[in-house]
A and B are shown apart, each in its own frame.
Chain A
Amino acid sequence: MKVALFVPCYVDQFYPQVAIATLEVLEKQGVTVVYPARQTCCGQPMANSGFEHLATGCNENFVENFADCDYIVSPSGSCVLHIKDHLHVESAEEKAASIRRRTYELVEFLTDIVQVKTLTSRFPHRVGLHQSCHGQRGLKLSQMSELVAPPFSKTGQLLGLVEGLELVQLNRADECCGFGGTFCVAEEAVSVKMGKDRVADHEAQGAAFITGNDMSCLMHLEGILRRQNSPMKVVHVAEILNAW
């Protein structure tokens, strides 16, 4: 099984430790991972702002990098959802379609494809799980509070295998954090207020860490925590799965 690692642009630039953790977690599971060196971005920043038509070059580059592998795995629900829903390349539509089918977010890849039953990780802390909307509602990584349907959580399932980790219950299980791509600056006031409320929910439950499947949400929450001089920290789920 050959897996190509897709590292979102902002993770590459600002959170390399998350990409390293992803790589190592996959390798610990016996997966062969390659990193296509000329990758850049999924194209979502343009598309979510209405400029899908400007993302052509970015999309072509993506297809070029990821056409040749069994699976594409990425530590981001949001970027993966964007690829699965919106990656199109006119001159290589067959390849693009195949990539859309073969792309997985890290956690769902571990639970659904690798079918991880045990982990050798340890994270003895109280942790709150911030469900990123694109991962949760888009990729269905966990049941959504709006629906009348049986509960499940792929991320929760993996975190349950981590030694010492105590998962706290939030008042609002799946409220958005307010990052939202360019929304975070275009609608600064609402974005920050949403983030502050999200942080407050974790604080109220006595969490020492906020984790999640998307570093973008966590980057936004981290920005607020650091401005507030809060002792609470953010940590990507890949870092927890790789912790010992």
Chain B
Amino acid sequence: MVSPSQPHPDHATLAEKFNRDEARVDWHDKTLWFIREKRDRAAHTLPEWEDLRETASQIKHRVLDNLHDYLLQFEAQAQRNGVTVHWAATAEEHNQIVHRIIQQAGVTNIVKSKSMLTEECHLNDYLQEKGITVVDTDLGERIVQLAGEPPSHIVLPCIHWKKEEIGELFHRHLGTPAGNADPQFLTGAARAHLRERFMTSRVAITGVNFAVAETGEVVVCTNEGNADLGVQLADVHIACMGIEKIIPERKDLGIFLRLLARSATGQPVTTYSSHFRTPRAGQTMHIVLVDNGRSARLQEESFRHALKCIRCGACMNTCPVYRRSGGHSYHYAIAGPIGAILAPALDMKRHADLPFASTLCGSCTNVCPVKINIHEQLYDWRQVLARQGYVGGVKKIGLTGMAAVLARPRLYRWSGTVGRWFMKSLPALLNNKLNPWYKQREMPAVPKQSFQEWYRQNRQQHGQQR
């Protein structure tokens, strides 16, 4: 388990490593761009797309404004449906609750469909330490699990793996023939392997895409049907969700389901959108509602809208930085732009680098189906992190000096003239390996005079000189 205080390389370092294999970066970029284009085509089939986004954003706004009431309504309805509802203030509490339920069932092997919340809480590691084996049943998640890695993308967990590498991984772990990288064959092998786990697992964990306050049901969207298979074959269903997953009414799904699948993969709808409302006869069903910093976030005007996120991953697919740095460079369960505004709220020191892993291009905000102002929050996080002292010393010293110069017109003019003279006379001062600009780029050519100098010489009339 990764301890929160453990030091780790920052995004820039990990991204630099990722970029050493340029062909791979090109492949990664193109793969994700293909999904972004698929999303564009799917969105363009709905002329009302922008209205859908606005409506979804407003519904989530209402949820955040009344979260307390909606949660209690949801709890009451779920209990009426025969579901046991648990409240967890922290990731640790969530893990303990899940562990206790598994212990009560008396099993040591369980299956789990995709849940970013359990990634956030490091549930697998926690349960493993307690002697419980968790098998992730989403194919992509199973692949990264076999490889001993966290997912690199919330919707496409193994998007950084090539099919040949998956063939090799399956050869080692599942005994498929060496050199076979046929996707259909490998999927068949994974299916046979997972089928055996489904059949023998008496506890199934699922995530939650939407929790309907009106009815107390949870909705889980998958393309593989793995959540359904797990739940239908198990005696105990544990659904784990962050408290922000609430939507007020079932009819709101007409908005959210249309947005989710199109934003995530460009599909009109996910293959399975399964509603879990009451446990079937002989089954018990638990819902774990997790806070883990969310209610604190709710109080921060600049950052609360991040809680609208429906985990579609569109911001990752569109992010030019994510596509060229890979999900693992974000060293957090949720990568990409949305991860970069969620992570610092949990641990500012550990994730202080993430809001800077962006050019603030704003594409993330434009694709977001619930209109989270992601790039503005990245900017706001930078201000918070710098004020709290989490931005590196060199940058701070440099920018303090720069600010002093730019506040003083005469000093600015003098520095410009002197700086340009040095650049021209002693180019080696900057054209060296210590200058990150120069590593792969030429410095701009130095003009013979600045615009101010030109203007004074050519345009300025008498009396204007100051």
- CB-based contact B399/A176 at 8 Å: no
Query: Given that A137-B366, A180-B358 are known contacts, is A40 also in contact with B412, CB under 8 Å in the complex?
Result: yes
- CB-based contact A133/B452 at 8 Å: no
Distance A178 CA – B50 CA, assembled complex (angstroms):
27
Count A-B contacts at CB 8 Å.
Answer: 225
Report B360-395 CB contacts with A as 1/0, cut-off 8 Å: 111101110000000000010011111100010001
- CB-based contact A12/B359 at 8 Å: no
- CB-based contact B441/A179 at 8 Å: no
Q: Which residue of A lies closest to B404 (CB)?
A: A57
Distance A7 CA – B409 CA, assembled complex (angstroms):
13
- CB-based contact B399/A51 at 8 Å: yes
Distance A191 CA – B446 CA, assembled complex (angstroms):
23
Which of B40, B321, B325, B464: most chain A CB closer than 10 A? B321
Does B254 lie at the interface of the complex (its beta carbon under 8 Å from any beta carbon of A)? Answer: no
CB distance from B261 to the nearest CB of A (A): 16
Q: Which residue of A lies closest to B443 (CB)?
A: A223
Contacts of A57 in B (CB 8 A): 403-404, 406-408
Report A47-80 CB contacts with B as 1/0, cut-off 8 Å: 1111111111110110000000000000000000
Contacts of B420 in A (CB 8 A): 13
A151-184 residues with Cβ-Cβ distance < 8 A to B are 172, 174-176, 178-184
B421-443 residues with Cβ-Cβ distance < 8 A to A are 436-437, 439-443
Query: Given that A11-B451, A45-B399 are known contacts, is A53 also in contact with B387, CB under 8 Å in the complex?
Result: yes
**Among candidates B16, B359, B387, residue contacting A189 with C-beta atoms closer than 8 Å:** B16
- CB-based contact B399/A54 at 8 Å: yes
- CB-based contact A193/B324 at 8 Å: yes
Q: Of B41-49, B73-81, B166-174, B191-199, which binds chain A?
A: B41-49
Does B465 lie at the interface of the complex (its beta carbon under 8 Å from any beta carbon of A)? Answer: yes
Tell me whether chain A's interface is mostly helix, strand or loop, or mixed.
helix
Query: Given that A50-B391, A188-B16 are known contacts, is A176 also in contact with B359, CB under 8 Å in the complex?
Result: yes
CB distance from B45 to the nearest CB of A (A): 9
**Among candidates A14, A50, A180, A188, residue contacting B444 with C-beta atoms closer than 8 Å:** A14
Distance A41 CA – B363 CA, assembled complex (angstroms):
26
- CB-based contact B459/A35 at 8 Å: yes
- CB-based contact B406/A192 at 8 Å: no
Contacts of A194 in B (CB 8 A): 320-321, 324, 359
Does A29 lie at the interface of the complex (its beta carbon under 8 Å from any beta carbon of B)? Answer: no
- CB-based contact B318/A137 at 8 Å: no
Report B112-123 CB contacts with A as 1/0, cut-off 8 Å: 000000000000
Contact size range, B: 35 or more
Q: Which residue of A lies closest to B420 (CB)?
A: A13
Contacts of B276 in A (CB 8 A): none
- CB-based contact B362/A137 at 8 Å: yes
**Among candidates B22, B357, B405, B449, residue contacting A16 with C-beta atoms closer than 8 Å:** B449
- CB-based contact B360/A50 at 8 Å: no
CB distance from A220 to the nearest CB of B (A): 7
Contacts of B442 in A (CB 8 A): 222-223, 226-227
Q: Of A90-98, A104-112, A141-149, which binds chain B?
A: A141-149
Q: Which residue of A lies closest to B410 (CB)?
A: A38
CB distance from A145 to the nearest CB of B (A): 7
- CB-based contact A9/B361 at 8 Å: no
Q: Residues of A with Cβ closer than 8 Å to B? A: 7, 9, 11-17, 19-20, 23, 35, 37-41, 43, 45-58, 60-61, 133-134, 137-138, 144-149, 172, 174-176, 178-195, 197, 219-220, 222-224, 226-227
Task: Apart from A50-B387, A148-B44, A184-B437, list 15 A-B contacts with CB within 8 A.
Answer: A19-B451, A49-B382, A57-B404, A57-B406, A60-B407, A133-B363, A146-B318, A147-B366, A175-B320, A178-B359, A187-B356, A188-B12, A190-B15, A194-B324, A220-B441
- CB-based contact A183/B460 at 8 Å: no
Query: Given that A13-B416, A37-B460, A227-B440 are known contacts, is A51 also in contact with B386, CB under 8 Å in the complex?
Result: yes
- CB-based contact B50/A49 at 8 Å: no
Contacts of B408 in A (CB 8 A): 40, 57, 61
Rank and list the top 5 A-B pairs by shortest CB-CB distance, nearest first.
Answer: A57-B407, A50-B386, A223-B441, A180-B359, A50-B382
- CB-based contact B399/A188 at 8 Å: no
Contacts of A189 in B (CB 8 A): 12, 15-16, 18-19
Distance A61 CA – B410 CA, assembled complex (angstroms):
12
Query: Given that A50-B386, A187-B356, A194-B320 are known contacts, is A9 also in contact with B440, CB under 8 Å in the complex?
Result: no
Distance A183 CA – B361 CA, assembled complex (angstroms):
12
- CB-based contact B441/A16 at 8 Å: no
- CB-based contact A190/B440 at 8 Å: no
CB distance from A73 to the nearest CB of B (A): 14
Contacts of A185 in B (CB 8 A): 436-437
CB distance from B364 to the nearest CB of A (A): 9
Q: Which residue of A lies closest to B353 (CB)?
A: A186
- CB-based contact A180/B439 at 8 Å: no
B447-466 residues with Cβ-Cβ distance < 8 A to A are 447, 449-456, 459-460, 464-466
- CB-based contact A51/B362 at 8 Å: no
Contacts of A54 in B (CB 8 A): 399-400, 403
- CB-based contact A49/B395 at 8 Å: yes
